[in-house]
Every structure is written in structure tokens, then in C-alpha cells.
């Protein structure tokens, strides 16, 4: 499964990083603390968070994550979207809660 498959299945909005939509998704991770995501998210994971600032893109790029999903309709800063576009890091948004989103990813077969 790739990022584009996840976008279609969950009806996510692609806010930035369209160039990375073909990345393979291997699992998922949910956290809002950047240090937790740096330590716990693995390459190829989709990271669910409520944060939408520039440092989220840096962590995603550092950990070679497949995508970042900003849940609960939280805003994403323009500078974060610009950097995600430069780096090819897909930033996806949804009104779904973190809990609901994690469950839906599990139903798609993504396991940590």
C-alpha cells in the first residue's frame, strides 16, 4: 500500500508533498511530542499528529516517514507546507479524530 492508497481509502486531503504519494506505507505511529515521534516512528510509517508546524516536517524527513496526517481539522502552517513541498513529504489532513484515524489505518491492515 502506498500513501495515495491511504489518501483514497480515508478520503484525506493532500495539503503538500504530492511528490511523495507513491511512497510505500509500512505502518503507523500516533503522537504529538516530537521527541516521541523521533524515537518511535519508523521509516515508512504514517505519523498521526495534531501539530502542523515546521518541526513536524523536519521530524518526518529525518525519520524518512511516508507521510504526516494532521488530524481533527487542525491547521498546518504555511511555512510547514512549503518545506513539505520542497522535501516531498506528504502532509495530509482530515477532520477525523486521532482515535478514529488510528482505527481506520488498522482496518486497512497497517500495523505498528
pLDDT tens digits for the chain (112 residues)? 999 999 999 999 999 999 999 999 999 999 999 999 999 999 999 999 999 999 999 999 999 999 999 999 999 999 999 999 999 999 999 999 999 999 999 999 998 7
Helices (H), the chain: 3-10, 34-40, 54-62, 78-87, 98-107
**pLDDT at residue number 31:** 97
Listed residue (49, 40, 42, 45) closest to 6, CA to CA:
45
The model's pTM is: 0.96
Strands of 27-30's sheet in order across: 13-16, 91-93, 67-70, 45-49, 27-30
**pLDDT at residue number 21:** 98
**pLDDT at residue number 111:** 81
Cα 59 to its chain centre, rounded Å, is 11
- 3-state SS, residue 3: helix
Give domain limits for the chain: 3-107
**pLDDT at residue number 52:** 98
Which CATH code for domain 3-107? 3.40.1390.20
Amino acid at each position: 500500500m502506498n500513501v495515495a492508497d491511504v489518501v483514497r481509502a480515508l478520503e484525506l486531503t493532500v495539503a503538500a508533498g504530492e511528490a511523495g504519494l507513491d511512497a510505500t506505507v509500512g505502518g503507523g505511529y500516533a503522537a504529538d511530542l516530537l521527541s516521541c515521534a523521533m524515537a518511535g516512528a519508523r521509516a515508512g510509517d504514517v505519523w498521526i499528529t495534531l501539530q502542523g508546524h515546521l518541526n513536524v516536517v523536519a521530524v518526518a524527513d529525518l525519520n524518512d516517514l511516508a507521510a504526516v496526517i494532521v488530524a481533527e481539522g487542525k491547521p498546518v502552517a504555511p511555512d510547514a507546507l512549503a518545506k513539505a513541498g520542497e522535501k516531498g513529504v506528504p502532509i495530509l489532513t482530515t477532520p477525523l479524530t486521532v482515535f478514529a484515524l488510528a482505527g481506520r489505518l488498522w482496518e486497512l491492515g497497517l500495523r505498528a
